[in-house]
Structure 1
Amino acid sequence: MTRIEWTTSRFALEFAAPGDAPVSLVALAIDGGENAVAPHAIVDLFTAGEHRRRTSQAFVRSAAGERLRYRSHEADASHLSIRQHDDATGLEVTTSVRALGDGLQWTQTIHNLSDRAWTLTAASSLTLELADRADARLLWGESEWLAEGRWHEQGLGDVLPDLGLDSHRQDGRGRFVRSSHGAWSTGEYLPTGAIVRDGGPSVAWQVETSAGWSWELAQTEASVVIAASGPGDLEHQFAERLEPGMSFTTVPVGLVVADGGRDAVFAELAGYRRALRLLRPADESLPVVYNDYMNTLMGQPSTEELLPLIEAAAAAGTEVFCIDAGWFTDDTDYWSAIGVWTEAPSRFTGGLASVIDEIRSRGMGAGLWLEPEIVGVDSPAAQSLPDDAFFRRFGERVIESERLHLDLRHPAARAHLDETVDRLVEQFGVSYFKLDYNINPGVGTDHAATSAGAGLLGHTRALRAWLIDVQARHPEVLFENCASGAMRMDYALLSVAHQQSTSDQQDAVHYAPIAASAPASVLPEQAGNWAYPAAGMSAGETAVTLVNGLAGRFMLSGFLPQLREDQTRMVSEAVTLHTSWRDRLSGAVPSWPLGLPGWDDDVIALALRSGGETFLCVWSRGAAGQVVLPGLGGAVRTTFPAAGTEWPVAVRGGDLVIEVPAGPDARVLVL
């Protein structure tokens, strides 16, 4: 029996490597706390010809995985690798664990050392068994267009019922699974989950890919196994053929452990996510961005429409003005024609340069919208680029909603995007790009790939690499990640993007739970929440939309010149509050005093703690009443908006008690 002990500044892990069984993770603890795991093999591996050793719905107990045997390991202060080998197939698996901030990042690399080809159909990136399932609760999230980040908290027994397995003396055969669908990695479910206990230990995980992913829970006789992975054959039509000497590395999965419950484990996740980011000096600026699309020009910009918006945005304190869709064509319906990113011939009086000059003369940076991976079927680029530069299935170009999809593994596709960004930066001095992604093209492309799922994974890895390279060439330019809002909100991209649009939702009251729950999925300093003040809004509705923006990165839109005087003051007050507090966003830890918000909750609360202060956002969407926010006692230093209906606040026994008026209304309290 070989024992592998590995410690980092926060974690202590122990692995057992018997000679007659695979390597198992037998201990995992944080800060000297309680062991969070029970012994379980650290990887499962499936091939086209061989699946499980014991039948199950879950991706556990794989035949090849159970034959793996320890060969060697290497470790230093921040990285551990464990090498195992399957003598029957000649496949070698290297488990890699990296210590990053407050978490651990897991991957598996499968190397074919045999003299024949093998086809891989699934492999877990992270597999572990909980030490104890008693009193545990599962957190998981749904997401769809206009209704992102709808979290659920359930007793673990509600999703994995007691099966009486001790009578059967074997593991269960079912599973609770959440998985992606096509190329919108967060279009249905979130790649993050958590199992929490109030006294700890609690664990949370996130799958870090823009391609296919799944995570699942399966019952053992004693507890529950968590398995998280990238694309697989069953859910994503994935297969990867490994010729002799070839290797494949699974997508990363992040893991955090906390000694407390829900808020504690999400705090650890925030620290891990910060360690993932490839930050540049420009990313530290956190500018206030105005975008002309939502509830405003809706993709029909012109000089005459933009000039008053530019003036009003600058007066409000905006630092970047982004011209959204439509700047590249005179047509009003251009859905199927995008793909050649040159300015519209006659949309702008005096040309696009004159508008951008006006933006900069007002002291703001200039931004433009792009949908880089998409080429409309009517675009000249659909003819000029080769077939191999697009997603293809069975020899045909993939068309989704009159649009083609570029494959960034192909040099012509990448050159097309490089030329676009380089030219726009040089020609117009663009310092901000909003990168959108408004179609889901399905499982991927099978051109130059074993399977469509493998082709999609290859493209998304090429997209991430392109984004890293283009930012290296233009270190002063910021890149926003967007996909019809947050349909591709994953940390494969967010580790290299400046910020994330959290929704396309245009109703401020519906946006409130999206903004409040966003820090469970994305860092507060990256959570671009839209504020859309409109002249027809009441004072309470105006407060709601502005507090939505203040709950993360403040992103502004709307017809600002049309606002009433009181609304204009509120917008400027919100921008001032955000810019005075934003430096602390980069260290803020989220918590939810009333629990993660339900879609129809009357009262919603999000607290961001940083630098000895708590930035508390509270939304009222129902009847008046009293709410108690546990553990938030303290003096209120700032209230936003300063004017408006009074929200009486008291501290009782260390808890904050607020008399909430009837909604819609919202407040920020800085404690």
Structure 2
Amino acid sequence: MSVNAQDARELRWGGDRIALSFLVDPGAAVSLITVADAAGGAARLEPTDRRADPHRDQPLVEVSAHGHGRFPGGYRHVDTVIGRRLRYLDHHDREVDGGRELRIRQTDADTSLVATSVFRVAEGVPAVRAWTEIECDTPLVLDFVSSLATGAVYDATGRGIDGLDLLSAASDWVAESRWERRPLRRIGLARIDRELQHHPPRSRYVIGSRGAWSTGEALPTGVLLPTDGDRDALCSAWQVEHNGPWLYELGETRSGAYLLLAGPTDQEHQWSHRLLPGEPFVSVPVSLAVGRGGADGALAALTAQRRAIRRHRPVDDTLPVVFNDYMNTLMGDPTRDKLLPLIDAAAEAGADAFCIDAGWYAEGTWWDSVGAWEPAASRFPHGIREVIDRIREHGMVAGLWLEPEVVGVRSPLARSLPDSAFFSRDGVRVAEHGRHLLDLRDPAARAHVDAVVDRLVGEYGIAFIKLDHNTMPGPGSDAHGLSAGAGLLGHSRALLDWIDDVQARHPQLLIENCSSGAMRMDYAMLSRLHLQSTSDQQDPVMYAPIAAAAPASILPEQAGHWAYPNERMDDELFTLSLVNGMLGRMYLSGYLNRMAPARRALVAEAVAAHKALLPALTRSTALWPLGLPDWEAPWVALALGADDAVHLSVWRRPGAEPEVALPFPTLRGRGLAVEPYFPAQPNGWQWRWDPDAGVLTVHTTVEAPSARVLRLREA
């Protein structure tokens, strides 16, 4: 439907839990002006008096190309000339499986470029998924395309930029998910006199990650919250869903503000794309959610969205407790004689799967010689099937660690595979950390990794793979005359296609997502894979804030937390190491075979308690009574609520006072019984529930570090 009238109109659309409205004006680019938690329904264009709405200052799409940059110039990804020139063509609304889809088309008369903004909502979910499709009938080199840009999220609270905080998270190897809440005015969005300057502010605040580690520097999730803590305010949360480079940017327009979500860019990631007729470019998908109740409510909405976009398979319902031999145990040195007693002990503890981690293929020093993924005869003198058979005899699923995207520089495959199978820069193979990086766009590379997985599944009966990726390829590969960033984007998408194909061929295969712990913890990967390693952190006390923060960025049923008890630990640290794995997916390790009977019984108690939680885990949402944990927090707490109960993990770390008050505003006024869940006896911990205040006070006489899991339910 074309716009012929001179007056602006409002296009209203959404689902049963979220409503969006767009300003459609013949003289301006389309803008997203409202994101609300009311029902939206089918698309409809209506007259509006909102021509002066400040949100129209931010176009829905920002796109730049060689010869078509920004005005005014600067570091920001808004103010693009093409984005400002776009004009509405039409829109189409249709039903899709489980929800609705809206497509809004705009065109730039100067270049003939057509930008299509795609929005999808799922039934019962207060969130929208979005991306941008760009096509042109003349050649054009793109250097930036937004997935979504809007000013609507700022005024959801009714406060504007001066009254809002950003909740965001830095991440690093063994220091993942470090959340911080800061006012927007204190993170770089300086206040200026806009009228005096006659221009909008040019400052921005940008968060992103580079290379193949999508979460190696920061998490692609953010939340905007009212500074005054008003829990009735509507808050916005978002995530970028890409297994490579991405960013989100916050800033101000002449009369409002904006949030921009995007994949790789030229400025930050050396990305550009040659757009040819008949070959559209599609940006990476993003999700935007709204909820009330502060960070808990906004992140609960994003949790519902993650479940809605996940490609769930029947085998995912098995939710096995996995024992892995690596962490604080064999550490990449598995052999037959070391594994067999561990397998027996893991089965006795109640594990459902046993994964043989790194090193099973290694003859001597192996880091820079990997690639063939054949069992090492020196480690398995009777063949690896002997060990796998022992796993299966105990009724457990057998698993192996695999890092298929790399080939060691000393591997014979580095000479037998063609040059086209590898990342390269200026005709030279990329070599990082003793490895070459396979480019899965290449048929030879794809055939190699297919053959490896098919052999492990078909010949050895492997039904669980720990998919790792420990090497960073830099900005990407410029093979085929592409920019390095375009090469990395192409490989990242080929990796997703490969995962889809593997799981279609092997529907009973479970795949864990790992990348030096959690360096690729994104929902391009997690919408497909079963489990996510949340860290490589070896200190159980330092693991506490990682485990507690995980549900802010991934689903509880996908959060694989290490539980690695050690016989040398004192009783409290031994218990704490098991508590770490309780509210998520317990990823068990440790020399269980060397433990005294009482310690092994406690491990079995923890596994049984965890299994009892699993059916409700897929329906749970997280609560953080102390807020998302600071990395150095003395007390750490995470609650998961589902059905008629709330399970609460509480960690007391060194330096903490003996007592802490845990507010639960959503439970205020309810008479609750509070009882120990794990371990079954309080052992020096006490608590009292104040229903009028909605506060649980916990007191312990036990020296830190110490931890417990409690259960709260109706008295």
TM band (smaller chain): over 0.9
Name the residue aligned to 2:17.
10
Deviations 1:89-137 (A, max 9, x none): 11110000011333111100010123xx210001110101122334321
Provide the C-alpha distance between the structure 1 equivalents of 2:190 and 2:582, rounded to a whole number of angstroms.
41
Aligned counterpart in structure 2 of residue 19 of structure 1, from 26, 30, 37: 26
| 2:135 is equivalent to residue 111 of structure 1 | yes
SS in 2 for 1:189: coil
Q: Which amino acid aligns with 1:191?
A: P
Provide the C-alpha distance between the structure 1 equivalents of 2:222 and 2:493, rounded to a whole number of angstroms.
23
Instruction: Give me the TM-score of the superposition, normalised by structure 1.
Output: 0.97
Unaligned runs of 5+ in 1: none
| 2:70 is equivalent to residue 30 of structure 1 | no
| 2:93 is equivalent to residue 61 of structure 1 | no
Deviations 1:15-39 (A, max 9, x none): 1221111111122211269x99933
Provide the C-alpha distance between the structure 2 equivalents of 1:180 and 1:577, rounded to a whole number of angstroms.
37
Name the residue aligned to 1:656.
696
Q: Which amino acid aligns with 2:689?
A: V
Q: What are the residue-to-residue correspondences of 1:327-342 with 2, within 5 Å?
A: 327-331=360-364, 333-342=365-374
Provide the C-alpha distance between the structure 1 equivalents of 2:451 and 2:646, rounded to a whole number of angstroms.
45
Name the residue aligned to 1:173.
202
| 2:534 is equivalent to residue 490 of structure 1 | no
| 2:212 is equivalent to residue 189 of structure 1 | no
Q: Which amino acid aligns with 2:697?
A: V
- Paired residues of 1:108 and 1:250 also in contact (CA < 8 A): yes
Deviations 1:117-163 (A, max 9, x none): 21000111010112233432101100000000000011222222322
Offset of residue 497 of structure 1: 0.5
Q: What are the residue-to-residue correspondences of 1:566-605 with 2, within 5 Å?
A: 566-605=598-637
Q: Which amino acid aligns with 1:62?
A: T
SS in 2 for 1:41: coil
- Paired residues of 1:589 and 1:608 also in contact (CA < 8 A): yes
Q: Which amino acid aligns with 1:38?
A: H
Q: What are the residue-to-residue correspondences of 1:143-154 with 2, within 5 Å?
A: 143-154=171-182
Aligned counterpart in structure 1 of residue 238 of structure 2, from 173, 196, 205: 205
- Paired residues of 1:27 and 1:37 also in contact (CA < 8 A): no
Offset of residue 644 of structure 1: 5.9
Name the residue aligned to 2:64.
46
Deviations 1:30-69 (A, max 9, x none): 1269x99933310100112221122232111100110101
- Paired residues of 1:539 and 1:644 also in contact (CA < 8 A): no
Provide the C-alpha distance between the structure 1 equivalents of 2:250 and 2:507, rounded to a whole number of angstroms.
42
| 2:706 is equivalent to residue 665 of structure 1 | yes
Q: Which amino acid aligns with 2:393?
A: S
Provide the C-alpha distance between the structure 2 equivalents of 1:360 and 1:157, rounded to a whole number of angstroms.
58
SS in 1 for 2:219: strand
Provide the C-alpha distance between the structure 2 equivalents of 1:161 and 1:32, rounded to a whole number of angstroms.
36
Name the residue aligned to 2:4.
none
Deviations 1:425-450 (A, max 9, x none): 11111010000000111001111252
- Paired residues of 2:166 and 2:223 also in contact (CA < 8 A): yes
Offset of residue 655 of structure 1: 1.4
Q: Which amino acid aligns with 2:133?
A: T
Q: Which amino acid aligns with 2:704?
A: G
| 2:147 is equivalent to residue 125 of structure 1 | yes
- Paired residues of 2:33 and 2:150 also in contact (CA < 8 A): no
Provide the C-alpha distance between the structure 2 equivalents of 1:298 and 1:640, rounded to a whole number of angstroms.
28
SS in 1 for 2:499: helix
Offset of residue 638 of structure 1: 3.8
Q: Which amino acid aligns with 1:321?
A: F
Deviations 1:269-317 (A, max 9, x none): 1000011111110011110000001111111111110011001100000
Provide the C-alpha distance between the structure 1 equivalents of 2:117 and 2:525, rounded to a whole number of angstroms.
23
- Paired residues of 1:639 and 1:668 also in contact (CA < 8 A): yes
What is the aligned residue count?
667
Offset of residue 515 of structure 1: 0.6
Aligned counterpart in structure 2 of residue 636 of structure 1, from 674, 677, 685: 674
Instruction: Give me the TM-score of the superposition, normalised by structure 2.
Output: 0.91
Identify if the C-alpha distance between structure 1 residues 37 and 345 changes in structure 2 by more than 3 Å, giving closer, same or farther: farther
- Paired residues of 1:449 and 1:455 also in contact (CA < 8 A): no
Deviations 1:180-222 (A, max 9, x none): 1211111111111110133321111111111110111012344
Deviating more after overlay: 322-331 vs 224-233 = 322-331
Name the residue aligned to 2:260.
227
Deviations 1:218-261 (A, max 9, x none): 12344421011000001000000112332100000110011331
Provide the C-alpha distance between the structure 2 equivalents of 1:232 and 1:511, rounded to a whole number of angstroms.
34
Name the residue aligned to 1:90.
112
Q: Which amino acid aligns with 1:392?
A: S
Offset of residue 626 of structure 1: 1.6
Deviations 1:570-608 (A, max 9, x none): 211110011001111111101110011011111000011
- Paired residues of 2:513 and 2:531 also in contact (CA < 8 A): yes
Unaligned runs of 5+ in 2: 1-7, 41-49
Name the residue aligned to 2:126.
102
Q: Which amino acid aligns with 2:688?
A: A
Aligned counterpart in structure 2 of residue 615 of structure 1, from 638, 642, 647: 647
Identity %: 47
Deviations 1:483-539 (A, max 9, x none): 000011010000000010000001100111111101111100000000110011111
| 2:488 is equivalent to residue 447 of structure 1 | no
Provide the C-alpha distance between the structure 1 equivalents of 2:208 and 2:143, rounded to a whole number of angstroms.
16
- Paired residues of 1:534 and 1:558 also in contact (CA < 8 A): yes
Q: Which amino acid aligns with 1:380?
A: P
Name the residue aligned to 2:165.
137
SS in 2 for 1:148: coil
- Paired residues of 2:132 and 2:146 also in contact (CA < 8 A): yes
| 2:384 is equivalent to residue 344 of structure 1 | no
Q: What are the residue-to-residue correspondences of 1:259-408 with 2, within 5 Å?
A: 259-331=292-364, 333-408=365-440
SS in 2 for 1:549: coil
Provide the C-alpha distance between the structure 1 equivalents of 2:442 and 2:643, rounded to a whole number of angstroms.
46
- Paired residues of 1:589 and 1:610 also in contact (CA < 8 A): yes
Name the residue aligned to 1:410.
442
Deviating more after overlay: 308-317 vs 252-261 = 252-261
Q: CA RMSD in A?
A: 1.6
Provide the C-alpha distance between the structure 1 equivalents of 2:256 and 2:330, rounded to a whole number of angstroms.
54
Name the residue aligned to 2:185.
157
- Paired residues of 1:238 and 1:454 also in contact (CA < 8 A): yes
Offset of residue 330 of structure 1: 2.4
Q: What are the residue-to-residue correspondences of 1:470-489 with 2, within 5 Å?
A: 470-489=502-521
Provide the C-alpha distance between the structure 1 equivalents of 2:409 and 2:59, rounded to a whole number of angstroms.
49
- Paired residues of 1:624 and 1:659 also in contact (CA < 8 A): no
Q: Which amino acid aligns with 1:185?
A: S
- Paired residues of 1:624 and 1:663 also in contact (CA < 8 A): no
Identify if the C-alpha distance between structure 1 residues 421 and 37 changes in structure 2 by more than 3 Å, giving closer, same or farther: farther
